[in-house]
Structure 1
Amino acid sequence: MPTKHDYPEALSKFTGSLVRRAQQRHVAVWLSEVSTEITSVQYAALEILQKTPGINQRQLGDELDVDRSTIADLVARMVRNELIERSDDAVDKRSYVLFLTPAGKKQLATLRPRVEEVERILTARLTRAERMELRRLLSALLPLGE
């Protein structure tokens, strides 16, 4: 039976295949280095709420580039896990504003160096310039405005 090593050009010919494989590696390294309970999207939410406390759920979803049902589930899970708290928005009663809890701040501080280690592991074979170029190129794959 052929293995992936028998067809290396077929596996690297398509950008989507490389992006998928890179994402799989990211997930594997994340699970081993950071957390099996906090996802990279949850971590990103913690970082955003640290920088912009009191943003509403829609704004957080926009920042994370996730749809309304996904952000609602994410926020509900993080509230349940006592990482964030949700309050009624004083301006828009249909909306919630979000804040890190003390446990969320502690979790963020604990995870941040581990996340930096994931970055180091994933890009270990790249120079600083290549890391910056990789980020630029990956960003260029996203729709305009992201």
Structure 2
Amino acid sequence: MPTKQPEPEALSRFTGSLVRRAQQRHVSVWLNEVSAEITSVQYAALEILQRKPGVNQRQLGDELDVDRSTIADLVARMVRNELIKRSDDPVDKRSYVLFLTPSGKKQLAALRPRVEEVERILTARLTQAERMELRRLLSALLPLGE
């Protein structure tokens, strides 16, 4: 006898299902409002490098909470797209430090208002207090120290 698939309403009681669906909505709104070429993770990398120019690849990966192979691919793609540049780390010759290129700075400035629009669209039905509470609760789901 085949098992019955859970009803969509039943899935709403599972946090993971709601988080996944919210993430799918975020991706959809991102693609419509921001860019099909620059992902939200790439945008976050641009923001970090604007705030902390000269971080190394490992530090950027830690800030983004991505593993070593993911950050290596991300950095390679962003270098190829001339958004960031890599330089030898003057302290550790086995490492690279990362900086925004002029094109990366221009792209960041152009994308920032669109990213703010994504935030507005995603949270339009929430009050300011509810937005803050949502961020607090989502942060509470992450491992300590993030």
By the TM > 0.5 criterion, same fold? yes
Cα displacement (A) at 1:9: 2.9
Q: Deviations over 1:101-121 (max 9, x none)?
A: 000000000000000000000
Q: Deviations over 1:14-53 (max 9, x none)?
A: 0000000000000000000000000000000000000000
Aligned to 2:75, the other structure's residue is in SS state: helix
Cα displacement (A) at 1:56: 0.4
1:31 and 2:46 equivalent?
Answer: no
Equivalence for 2:138: 138
Unaligned runs of at least 5 residues, structure 2: 1-5
TM-score, normalised relative to structure 2: 0.95
Q: In 1, Cα distance between the equivalents of 2:45 and 2:106? A: 14
1:49 and 2:49 equivalent?
Answer: yes
Q: In 1, Cα distance between the equivalents of 2:51 and 2:31? A: 25
Q: In 2, Cα distance between the equivalents of 1:111 and 1:8? A: 35
Equivalent residue letter for 2:35 = S
1:69 and 2:53 equivalent?
Answer: no
Cα displacement (A) at 1:7: 3.2
Q: In 2, Cα distance between the equivalents of 1:106 and 1:81? A: 13
Equivalence for 1:20: 20
Equivalent residue letter for 2:96 = Y
RMSD of equivalent CA atoms: 1.0
Aligned to 1:82, the other structure's residue is in SS state: coil
Aligned to 2:99, the other structure's residue is in SS state: strand
Equivalent residue letter for 1:65 = D
Q: In 2, Cα distance between the equivalents of 1:11 and 1:132? A: 25
Equivalence for 2:3: none
Q: In 1, Cα distance between the equivalents of 2:76 and 2:8? A: 43
1:40 and 2:22 equivalent?
Answer: no
Equivalence for 1:109: 109
Query: Paired residues, what number?
Result: 141
Q: Sequence identity, in percent?
A: 90
Aligned to 2:10, the other structure's residue is in SS state: helix
Aligned structure 1 segments of 4 or more residues deviating by more than 2 angstroms: 6-9
Aligned to 2:37, the other structure's residue is in SS state: coil
Q: In 2, Cα distance between the equivalents of 1:67 and 1:7? A: 35
Unaligned runs of at least 5 residues, structure 1: 1-5
Q: In 1, Cα distance between the equivalents of 2:145 and 2:83? A: 29
